[in-house]
Structure 1
Amino acid sequence: MTGALLALAAALCYGVADVAGGLLSRRADFRTVAFLGQAGGLACAVAFSLFVPVREFAWPAVAWGAPSGIGTGIAMVFLYRGIGSGTMSVVVPVSAVGGVALPILVGVAFLGDRPSAMAWAGIAVVLPALWLVSRSRTDERDRVRSAVVNGLVASVGIGVQYLALAQAGGDAGLWPVAVGRVTALLTIAPMLVRPRAGESRAPLLPGARATAWAVATGTVAAAALAFYLLATGRQLVVIAVVLSSLYPVVPVLWGVTALRERLSGGQVAGLAAAGAAVLLLTLPPL
């Protein structure tokens, strides 16, 4: 599988995990959903790691999984917090655009990534595409400020997750992903306290069915990180990040097919722009 296809597979898994985790966070405490998801992701990552060849088990490479996991923990908590409060249309674009902008800037400025002119065009198209595709018809302005804060914090976590995991490389197999799930759990664990006055009173301990779904969601998210890590070994980090960040398309398509939602004109334009960006980023340079 090529690097571009691996990155697109990561985007698909990210989108599925975000939709499932966000919906669960409307019935259970968002911190618990994030914690259970990372626990499931840890089991999945260890299982994956046993079957992926390790060319060189270098501890520095594996250690890059630790800061990546810290970023994941922060990102999941604040992303689920925002989506769980019913403001997906604001949280998703902010987290996606911020999460892709930081790795692009660092990749070009410090990591020596040099995308082709066609790839630069795709990068330029994907940022407004992410925003448009995640827009909805809601006019609930009272939640916008809180949603923007949640999205910005999540975007920083996503950016750190991408950058750190890309530095791990592919020689250590998927063990950096497993290490990241451990540090993600350690990052989220201190947040598992009773909510203060004015915060969500959703139960900290969900039922067995919700727990199982949260764990399953985490396994899908871990698969996304595995696909992304493999993609960075076959593709420029900048392009792998951009393609992996197309995950907001998934909630839109889910709403159209499963929830019978109607697309706005902006969302249609965003989907078309996202498709064009994929072509520009995956076609070989002229």
Structure 2
Amino acid sequence: MNLTSLLPILYGLGAAISWGAADFAGGLASRRSANALAVVFHAEWIGMVGVFAVASLSGQPSMSLTGWGFAMLAGAIGTIGLIVLYKAMAEGQMSIAAPVSALLAASLPVAFGSFSEGFPGWLTLFGFILALAAVWAISAGESGSLRPSIKGWKELQMPFLSGLGFGLYFILIHRAGQESNLWPLVGSRLGGMLMLLAYALIKRPSLRLARPVWSIVPVNAVLDVTANGLYILASQTGRLDVAAVLGSLYPGMTVLLAGLLLKERINRLQAFGILIALIAIGLITL
């Protein structure tokens, strides 16, 4: 395998590592502030200011109006998915919300990519299946069960909508990324900010953060922007479905960081998920 064919894999894995670390930082900030929405809001505008400065200094040409539309729509839909996921986790079983959302978020770009770019090879397809199984296992949470009790469709509605939002984000930001590397990140942040402002005006939530949390939120913002940028590069240099599946392995990084830094126990199911994720990466790379 030459460097050109390896680059999309490296970019996709880099996106997963950065997203996983960003989720760890965001989760830590949310735990310390007890205000997840405020963490998302402030990370969003910090990330937007930072990536706008980088894009402006880079001299990279801006996107067309269509590109801006796709990027802003991606940001708005992705933000809705995040809000719905937090609500689902707060009101239902976290062991249901996280894996269902993550599984759908990865599956949708796979279906779209297979339709738009052609069917992947059988080894790659088997790698996809293993990767999706890994996403489910790693995200299963503290219950350690592959089959958490699901009371009915109603309990799955919000995780389903959240995963749909994330999956559409993967597809839309890929389309915007065909015109530029950096400006789609600005557009998606802008779309996300507008959605959060609209939500804040309607719900009137508190957006205050405790002073100690302010040292964590910028880290979350930088890591999230980096992850999105690497995902765009992965989908530009390779297949959309490969980029989305590799990027969706981010829960493994979050779990590893929680185990290393917070001494949270990694259960057998999550450890098994990390193992099959490594096997999946090998198959996708072949």
TM-score range, shorter chain: 0.7 to 0.9
List gaps (5 residues or longer) in structure 2: 1-5
Matches within 5 A, 1:15-54: 15-26=20-31, 27-50=33-56, 54=60
Instruction: Say if 2:106 and 2:245, in contact at 8 Å, map to a contact too.
Output: yes
Residue 157 of structure 1 is matched in structure 2 by 165
Q: Does the CA-based 8 Å contact 1:65-1:180 persist in structure 2?
A: yes
Give the alignment partner of residue 192 of structure 1, picking from 176, 194, 200. 200
Aligned to 2:105: 99
How many angstroms apart in 2 are the aligned matches of 1:146 and 1:25? 26
Cα pair distance change 1:276/1:7, threshold 3 Å: same
> Residue 220 in 1 paired to residue 220 in 2?
no
TM-score, structure 1 normalization: 0.84
Amino acid at match of 1:66: M
- Determine if the alignment matches structure 1 residue 235 to structure 2 residue 243: no
Match of 2:120 in 1: 115
Q: 1:192-221 CA distances to partner (integer Å, 9 max, x unpaired)? A: 25869xxxxx95311233245334312221
Q: State the Cα RMSD in Å.
A: 2.9
Q: Which stretches in structure 1 are left out of the alignment for 5+ residues?
A: 197-201
CA gap of 1:142–1:121, structure 2 versus 1, over 3 A, is closer
Higher alpha-carbon deviation: 133-142 or 170-179: 133-142
**Offset of 1:24 from its aligned partner?**
2.6
Call closer, same or farther: CA 1:215–1:82 in 2, change over 3 Å.
farther
Distance 1:88-1:253 versus aligned 2 partners, 3 A rule: farther
Aligned equivalents of 2:150, 2:276: Cα separation in 1: 30
- List, as ranges, runs of 4+ consecutive aligned residues in structure 1 with deviation greater than 6 Å: 139-147
Say whether residues 1:133 and 2:138 are aligned partners.
yes
Amino acid paired to 2:66:
P
Q: Per-residue deviation at 1:89?
A: 3.5
19-28 vs 247-256, which moves further: 19-28
Q: Quick one: which amino acid aligns to residue 69 of structure 1?
A: G
* TM-score (normalised: structure 2): 0.84
Alignment coverage as a number of residue pairs: 277
User: What is the CA–CA distance in structure 2 between the aligned matches of 1:259 and 1:237, rounded to whole Å?
Assistant: 34
Identical amino acids, percent of aligned pairs = 26
Contact between 2:109 and 2:241, CA under 8 Å: does it hold in 1? Answer: yes
2:263 equivalent to 1:255: no
Structure 2 CA distance for partners of 1:174 and 1:249, relative to 1, 3 Å: same
Q: Which has the higher helix share?
A: 2
Alignment partner, residue 199 of structure 1: none
Shift of 1:142: 9.9
Describe how 1:74-85 pairs up with structure 2 within 5 A. Answer: 74-82=80-88
Q: Describe the shift of the 1:102–1:264 C-alpha distance in structure 2 as closer, same or farther (beyond 3 A).
A: same
| Aligned AA (2:167) | G
SS at the partner of 1:2?
helix
- Alignment CA distance shift 1:183-1:143 (3 Å): farther
Q: Alpha carbons of 1:23 and 1:80: their partners in 2 closer, same or farther (altered >3 Å)?
A: farther
Partner of 2:3: none
CA shift digits 1:202-260 (9 cap, x unpaired): 95311233245334312221111111111111110010000000011012212321232
In 1, are the aligned partners of 2:96 and 2:150 still within 8 Å (CA)? no
Q: Which moved more, 1:145-154 or 1:157-166?
A: 145-154
Cα separation, 1, equivalents of 2:175 and 2:25: 29
User: Which deviates the most, 135-144 or 22-31?
Assistant: 135-144
The whole-number CA distance in structure 1 between the counterparts of 2:202 and 2:143 is 31
How has the CA–CA distance of structure 1 residues 254 and 89 changed in structure 2, closer, same or farther, with 3 Å as cutoff? farther
Give the secondary-structure state (helix, strand or coil) at the position aligned to 1:233: helix
